[in-house]
Amino acid sequence: MRFRPHRYLSFFVISLCSWPLFAEPIKVAEPKSTQMAAVAMPDLYSAKVAKQILFAGGNAVDAAVAAGFVLAVTYPEAGNLGGGGFMTLYTPTLQSDDTDTLAVQFLDYREKAPKAAFRDLYLDQDKQVIPYRSLVGYQASGVPGTVMGFWQAHQRFGSLPWQQLLQPAIEYAEQGFRVSQAIEDRAKWFQGWIVDKTTMPLNFMDYFGSLKANTLFKQPELALTLERIAKQGASDFYQGKTAQLLVDEMQAHNGLITLDDLNRYQAKWREPVVGEWLGRQVVSAPPPSSGGVAIVQLLKLKQLLAPQLQVALAQAKKDGIPEQVVKTHFYAELEKRVYADRAHFLGDPDFIKVPIKTLISSDYLKQRSQSILLDDISDSEKVRHGKLESPETTHFSIMDGQGNAVSNTYTLNMPFGSGVVIPGAGFLMNDEMDDFSKKPGVANVFGVVGGKANEIAPEKRMLSSMSPTILLKDGQLEMVVGTPGGSTIITSVFQTIVNVVEEGMSAQQAVDATRVHHQLLPVNQIAYNPELPEDVKDGLQMMGYHLKKNNYMGDVQIITHINGQWQAASDKRGVGVSDVFEVKSRE
């Protein structure tokens, strides 16, 4: 590597006995044989429920649905009824005869723009962005997709009764869950953050102002909503009483969502992105997520440039330069090109043509790799998209005893979404409209710049970085992984995969390792978490990078097969719980 000196540029532990009990014990059938299952979940409540569903004979989709609704109660900053997300599935024992041999599925239950939305919705008369209108308040929300997504997943693959899967969430809402210090702290921060972001009063504090660590928090209105959804399915949320409560609140405060918007909403089964890498199939999220395309691009670019990287590492060793300096710079060079492609090409495929196969093709990526520098920093202002021949979320990973797996990421966007709670229904609304390009070249709350492909349009799904990912090797499940983290999701998943497959780390080592992030803009800025050694910082600064320590950079949840054994791990950055355990197979 050539240096240019002139360019100096709580977890709160909760006793099991404090958890609310189910009204009736779940009955478990007689075992036939023992098999391994695993969960990696963002909190202990969702982990407990996912395991109970698997012990009761449910499959990975059953466990995902039950855990997803529990998180809407116990993880209110990101778990949700009023948001949306993506689910990547591997379902070899749940397939019909006409499905593909990889047995991979992808469900898009991302929010959609209301019909009243339009391109310049968040611009003033001078065509300037109105600060925070797409983030806070009643015009910030897209049409929610979570309830429909879980419903459609269950309709296709579920085995246990729908009502049984919602019962744990209902009981946590009725009886309460014990609040962690982390949730109390996030709620206090959010209330302070939104206080001057809108002139219209919000009701967040009416519902979440009493969150206090080590106390039981009950949500009676949310319990009633969950009971209606348990009895009526998705129809309650999209056509029934819950729908009416949501629309009444929106229209009373100049919101955009109507009953027609809710009635028209459907989740969508899409073909996942599948990329070949080191003898594996990387199965991940297609547009309107940018995650799958970006992760496959990063992995394949790294593979293409592996010989050059080894030369640079050898030279750095001779020069006494820390190896981590070279690798961090290398990742930054890859990432700035991937984020340039993201901004130009990616958006809702129902509205624009997204050239997925070309973007992840070897020919295209060879072209992209030619300008990557291993001894200097590429000029970010000159890095553009290629030429064609376009931080609050939560994730969980689940594998059942039959080898079926779910990688699920869903979100409200910001912690606690738009700050709007639906009275009488008790759930928070998302602020996902901020994920559209409000104006080409203007960054969203995560600093990501968008283009025309992701501009606002009625019933369009906004671009996302959520990247629920599954790796298959020889057609068999090898890894289930994902994370929250806004624009850092892509780079966190990429580095975690590399840590396991190429660096030989255990699951826990892989998710706990320091991660670095570069997204084209701000120019030459590398974010990191939790820490970089001082000599690595010095080396990167001498190259001309500006360093920023992020307070948060993901909460990876992984299940992976290493040396003949399954491992599960939850990121030390969060409060998650993971486990590998035996379940009994049943006829």
Q: Give the number of other CB atoms < 10 A from CB of residue 318.
A: 7
Active site annotation includes 393? yes
- Catalytic-labelled residue, pool 91, 393, 394, 483: 393
Q: Are 93 and 476 in contact (CB under 8 A)?
A: no
Q: Are 119 and 452 in contact (CB under 8 A)?
A: no
Q: How many residues does the chain have?
A: 587
C-alpha dist (Å) from residue 483 to 272, 439, 582:
18, 28, 25
Angle at 76 between CA 512 and CA 517, to 5 degrees: 35
Residue 208 CA to its chain's centroid (Å) = 24
Cα torsion 41, 171, 412, 406: sign? positive
Angle at 360 between CA 301 and CA 454, to 5 degrees: 110
Residue 181, burial from CB neighbour count under 10 angstroms (0-12, 13-18, 19+): middle
Closest C-alpha among 141, 137, 136, 138 to residue 114: 141
DSSP string, 209-259: TT--TTSEE--HHHHHHHHHHHHHTHHHHHHSHHHHHHHHHHHHTT----H
SS3 call for 274: strand
Closest C-alpha among 337, 343, 389 to residue 368: 337
Q: Which residues are catalytic?
A: 393
